[in-house]
Amino acid sequence: MAATPDGCEHYVRSCLLKAPCCGKFYVCRLCHDGEEKHQLDRFKVREVRCAACSTIQEAQQTCKECDVKFGEYYCDVCHLFDKDKKQYHCQPCGICRIGPKEKYFHCTKCNLCLATDLKDNHKCVENVSRQNCPVCMEDIHTSRIGAHVLPCGHLLHKTCFDDMCITGAYRCPLCMRSAFNMKEFWEDQDKEIAQSPMPTEYRDTTVKIICNDCQAHCTVSFHVLGLKCSSCGSYNTAQYGGSL
């Protein structure tokens, strides 16, 4: 794939990587993976070709022949060339992250860099980013798309979380707990149920439920609009068994 002064749709750079797997030149690993039937290992890249003078040389930030800077940012571990986005290489993650670095910290248990406002303020799930996004089933850890941490500790791509909200889905696809604070929605549900009494023959009907948010098992009044957990007030519940 030919390089342009601006690189490719993924990165702004002035060089092409020589793929260690097939020997072909591509602007980036994503361009390579989109064309080939195998993946480029970024850590094994040893040579690049200057987009300005076509000199093939050892991977470095500046062309040894014409002094063109291949990228404002360069990591000699990931062989990442790009414009300055305040990137930094996280050693425990093993890859570069978009910063600035001071706004992120590496959670050892989650094994992932998270925003500093989540420090001591999130539920840890061991190696959570090593799982694929439960919405699109694509990799999270090395994705260029940011991750969104749910209250339950599970991760989604930020874009997948936004799409999920647009469609009206409010539960974690993995554990079914509410994906955000639902207090106002539950209050609206209370009002709607109060204004919609059940027919006389069903008013004393009760059912057994389990709450997806607090895991409580309750016996509650039956209503077609929702079954409210008597322990935490959530409507994120599931009925089990028949009516009582």
Between 2 and 201, the higher pLDDT residue: 201
pLDDT of residue 1: 43
Tell me the residue type at 103: K
Query: Per-residue pLDDT averaged across 53-63, rounded?
Result: 95
pLDDT of residue 240: 87
pLDDT of residue 2: 43
pLDDT digits (tens, 9 = 90+) for 68-125: 999 999 999 999 999 999 999 999 999 999 999 999 999 999 999 999 998 988 889 8
Taken as a whole, the chain contains a residue count of 244
pLDDT digits (tens, 9 = 90+) for 62-83: 999 999 999 999 999 999 999 9
Per 3-state DSSP, the chain is made up of helix, strand and coil in percentages (nearest 5) of 20, 25, 55
Alpha carbons within 13 A on the beta-carbon side of 211: 17
Quickly state the pLDDT bin for 243 (edges 50, 70, 90).
low
Report the distance separating Cα 104 and Cα 195, nearest Å. 47
CA angle centred on 138, ends 18 and 100, rounded to 5°: 70
DSSP conformation letters of 102-126: GGEEEETTTTEEEEGGGTTSS---T
pLDDT digits (tens, 9 = 90+) for 127-138: 888 889 999 999
Report the distance separating Cα 83 and Cα 74, nearest Å. 9
Cis peptide before 92 (omega within 30 of 0): no
CA distances, 12 to each of 81, 171, 224 (Å) = 7, 37, 55
Q: Which stretches of 20-84 are assigned E, i.e. beta strand?
A: 25-26, 47-50, 56-58, 73-75, 80-82
pLDDT of residue 5: 53
